[in-house]
Amino acid sequence: MTSAEADSRLNEMLEQTEAMHKHLCPRQVLGVRMGLLASELLGIEMPQKDKRVLAFVESDGCFADGLSAATGCTLGHRTMRLFDYGKVAATLVDTKTGRAVRIAPRADSRKRAAEAVPEAANRWKGQLEAYKSIPSELLLEAREVAVNLDVAALVGKAGVRVNCARCQEEILNQREVAHEGETLCQSCAGDSYWRAAE
């Protein structure tokens, strides 16, 4: 891919994430750049048209929208999962090969941005522009990793549905729990993020 083609692709992804997010910010640019680097490292064309790549993002917000625009991974397609560690980082897994790469901004990325665009009106605008052009190897840190989760179980099987024996709500994608001889949803089995109001 030529430099002009790479710039054109980056700009196309940035336009998509800006339209989705209603503005463009430095973290969206990082998300797009991370998605493009993952495409290169995994050797998979992105944004994906199928569900081959699964993305684990370590924070929500702008960055995740940028990564989504570049990779095609979304919550709605069940190809993105959030582990809220408060980090602008993501691990992308090729579900066919099991290869995984974790990408995050280098610790000195903000410093590099200030040096790259010293005339910027403020730090935010400087980062917005610099993150578009700083070479990937200077902006991002990527490494192959092993995922500690059963990716096949996370993906589950589309179309599989059962009802919880207690609340009767439908459970999708093999997320039911066998508990004391009953098929339950995770909430009824005691693993819930909510409770009934008093």
**Bridge-partner residues for 94, per DSSP?**
53
Strand blocks (E) in 13-164: 53-57, 80-82, 90-94, 100-105, 140-145, 161-163
- Give the contacts of 38 (CB within 8 A, at least 6 positions apart): 46, 53, 70, 71, 90, 92, 101, 103, 142
> In this predicted model, which residue has the larger pLDDT, 156 or 180?
180
Q: Please give the structure tokens belonging to residue 39.
A: 């495409």
Most confident residue range from 15-19, 57-61, 140-144: 140-144
Tens digits of per-residue pLDDT, 169-188? 999 888 899 989 999 999 99
> How far is CA 196 from its chain centroid?
31
CA–CA separation, 79 vs 143, rounded Å?
Answer: 20
Query: Would you kindly state where each structural domain of the chain is located, as residue ranges?
Result: 3-152, 156-198
Q: Say if residues 102 and 143 touch (Cβ distance below 8 Å).
A: yes
Tens digits of per-residue pLDDT, 25-83? 999 999 999 999 999 999 999 999 999 999 999 999 899 999 999 999 999 889 999 99
Q: Is the model's pLDDT at 88 over the cut of 90?
A: yes
| Confidence bin at 160 (pLDDT 50/70/90) | confident
* Confidence at residue 173, expressed as pLDDT on a 0 to 100 scale: 82
Residue-averaged pLDDT of the chain: 92
- Give the contacts of 132 (CB within 8 A, at least 6 positions apart): 10, 14, 29, 33
**Bridge-partner residues for 144, per DSSP?**
101
Q: Say if residues 43 and 96 touch (Cβ distance below 8 Å).
A: no
Fold of the 3-152 domain: 60s Ribosomal Protein L30; Chain: A; (3.30.1330)
